[in-house]
């Protein structure tokens, strides 16, 4: 199968580039945003609504699907695309992030430099072999290894899959980060070997993961590792620092070391401002639960002109001022929500605790992100990234 390839055109804006990732399920125009269908479902939104909102690619989480319904059931269904009715490009992660996230309390907090530790620890042991953890669902003990992660992802059948790694937390020291990164490299090689054994039909491609925390020399070592191994693409993982400024530094120090001929994904990051910063560093794809999670709390993403609150990327439709506002979230938005429903109606649905609120606001936020990425791609083509920045980022 020769349907996979990546090509790009450099733009006049730093390392930013326009590209295309070709997969058997379609082409992803990059820079692109990947939406999280954690448990094989975008919460409250059908695949056809996602398509209608111009979505190019979604991802599902191997950790959740490994535990439920299990990869064998998805394989028997004919793979994730058929199981969930998504006939477009798809990515699965390795399961590592969630093992370590749920394991340490929350790596998501760790990655962002917060030391909160409220959840029960389910990570039991990390050895050279893999990670032993307790299921958050039924308490059963599982061992996930690079081989098991790849086997699971091959059964799930997403177009793009990811090497198994240890997602190093933020609060550990440089020695731990270095040791962990090197184990992730060995896990990366085992992932690659397992993938080459199992990807007999050539219907998938593997991304390697870059670790190394906030340390430039380690990030460089990790980039050297992925550059010199036969990964299709590269994903920047691990701790990106204590704040946005450090995150942008880590992304920059990493992205500049990566082989530009391969697509670059930035794991778990996708704020509107982050996207502008990431694109400028040559990031091709982003993923984040933010747009869909925000929607379920009543937050609708808006451009600067539709937002009076500085520094905010959204308006909160729960707020009282929406009660009698009969205009759409964004008057110039062509999404199915803005063309049919007002803020007053969405406010009413939220107050009435109607499920449809989640569906409609999510549909807007998805369309918003895709529209943002379209605008970014257009701007790159005409060297106008800086000019469109204030339209989208309210800072």
Q: Do the Cβ atoms of 254 and 14 come closer than 8 Å?
A: no
45/369 with CB nearer its own copies: 45
Kindly state whether residue 348 participates in binding its own copies, applying the rule CB under 8 A: yes
Residue number, 17 or 358, with CB nearest to its own copies: 358
By CB under 8 A, is residue 344 in contact with its own copies?
A: yes
Mask 65-84, x = binds its own copies (CB under 8 A)?
A: ---xx---x--xxx----xx
Q: Which helix H or strand E contains 209, and what residues bound it?
A: strand 205-210
* 342 touches its own copies (CB under 8 A): yes
54 binds its own copies (CB under 8 A): no
d(CA 175, CA 183): 12
Of 145, 219, 149, the closest CA to residue 177 belongs to 219
Interatomic CA distance for residues 254 and 238, integer angstroms: 12
Can you tell me the distance from the alpha carbon of 39 to that of 55, in angstroms, rounded to the nearest whole number? 18
Number of residues that bind its own copies (CB under 8 A): 41
Token pair listed for 241:
């620092």
Q: Is 356 one of the binding residues for its own copies (CB under 8 A)?
A: yes
Q: Which of residues 264-323 bind its own copies (CB under 8 A)?
A: 323
Does 174 bind its own copies (CB under 8 A)? Our answer is: no
Buried b (16+ CB within 10 A) or exposed e, 147-178: bbbbbbbbbbbbbbbbbbbbbbbbeeeeeebb
Which of 244, 354, 375, 389 is in the footprint of its own copies by CB under 8 A?
A: 354
Options 13, 15, 43, 220; binder of its own copies; rule CB under 8 A: 43
Task: State which residue, 178 or 329, has the beta carbon closest to its own copies.
Answer: 329
Q: Is 41 in the site for its own copies (CB under 8 A)?
A: yes
Token output for 318? 């729960």
x/- mask, its own copies, residues 190-219, rule CB under 8 A, reads: ------------------------------
The SS3 call for residue 234 is strand
Identify the sign of the CA torsion 40, 42, 44, 46: negative
Of residues 230-259, which lie at the interface with its own copies (CB under 8 A)?
none
392 is an interface residue for its own copies by CB under 8 A: no
Q: Are 281 and 325 in contact (CB under 8 A)?
A: no
**Can you give the C-alpha Rg of the chain in angstroms?**
20
Q: For residue 44, state whether it binds its own copies (rule: CB under 8 A).
A: yes
Report in angstroms how near the CB of residue 168 gets to its own copies at its nearest: 29
E strand spans, 312-377:
314-316
Q: For binding to its own copies (CB under 8 A), which residues are involved?
A: 39-49, 64, 68-69, 73, 76-78, 83-85, 323-324, 326, 336, 340-342, 344-345, 347-349, 351-352, 354-356, 358-360
């Amino acid at each position: 199968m020769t349907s996979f390839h990546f090509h790009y055109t450099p733009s006049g804006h730093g390392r930013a580039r326009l590209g295309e990732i070709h997969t058997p399920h379609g082409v992803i125009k990059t820079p692109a945003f990947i939406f999280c269908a954690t448990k094989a479902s975008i919460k409250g939104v059908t695949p056809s609504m996602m398509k209608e909102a111009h979505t190019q690619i979604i991802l599902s989480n191997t950790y959740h699907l490994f535990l439920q319904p299990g990869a064998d059931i998805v394989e028997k269904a004919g793979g994730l695309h058929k199981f969930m009715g998504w006939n477009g490009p798809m990515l699965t992660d390795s399961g590592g992030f969630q093992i370590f996230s749920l394991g340490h309390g929350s790596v998501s907090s760790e990655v962002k430099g917060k030391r909160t530790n409220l959840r029960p620890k389910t990570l039991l042991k990390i050895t050279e072999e893999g990670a032993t953890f307790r299921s958050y669902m039924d308490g059963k003990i599982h061992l996930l290894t690079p081989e098991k992660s790849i086997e699971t992802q091959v059964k799930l059948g997403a177009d793009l899959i990811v090497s198994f790694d240890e997602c190093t937390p933020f609060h550990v020291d440089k020695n731990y980060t270095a040791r962990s990164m090197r184990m992730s490299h060995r896990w990366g090689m085992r992932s690659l070997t397992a993938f080459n054994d199992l990807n007999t039909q050539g219907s998938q491609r593997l991304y390697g993961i870059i670790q190394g925390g906030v340390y430039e020399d380690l990030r460089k070592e990790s980039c050297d590792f992925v550059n010199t191994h036969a990964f299709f693409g590269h994903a920047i993982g691990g701790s990106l620092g204590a704040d946005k400024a450090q995150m942008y530094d880590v992304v920059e120090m990493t992205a500049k070391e990566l082989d530009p001929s391969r697509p670059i994904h930035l794991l778990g990051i996708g704020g509107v401002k982050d996207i502008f910063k990431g694109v400028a560093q040559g990031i091709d794809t982003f993923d984040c639960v933010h747009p869909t999670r925000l929607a379920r709390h009543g937050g609708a993403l808006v451009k600067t002109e539709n937002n009076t609150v500085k520094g905010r990327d959204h308006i909160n439709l729960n707020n009282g001022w929406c009660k009698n506002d009969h205009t759409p979230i964004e008057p110039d938005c062509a999404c199915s929500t803005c063309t049919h429903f007002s803020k007053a109606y969405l406010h009413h649905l939220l107050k009435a605790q109607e499920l449809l609120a989640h569906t409609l606001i999510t549909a807007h936020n998805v369309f918003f992100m895709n529209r943002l990425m379209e605008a970014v791609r257009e701007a790159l083509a005409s060297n106008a990234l800086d000019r469109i920045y204030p339209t989208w980022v309210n800072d």
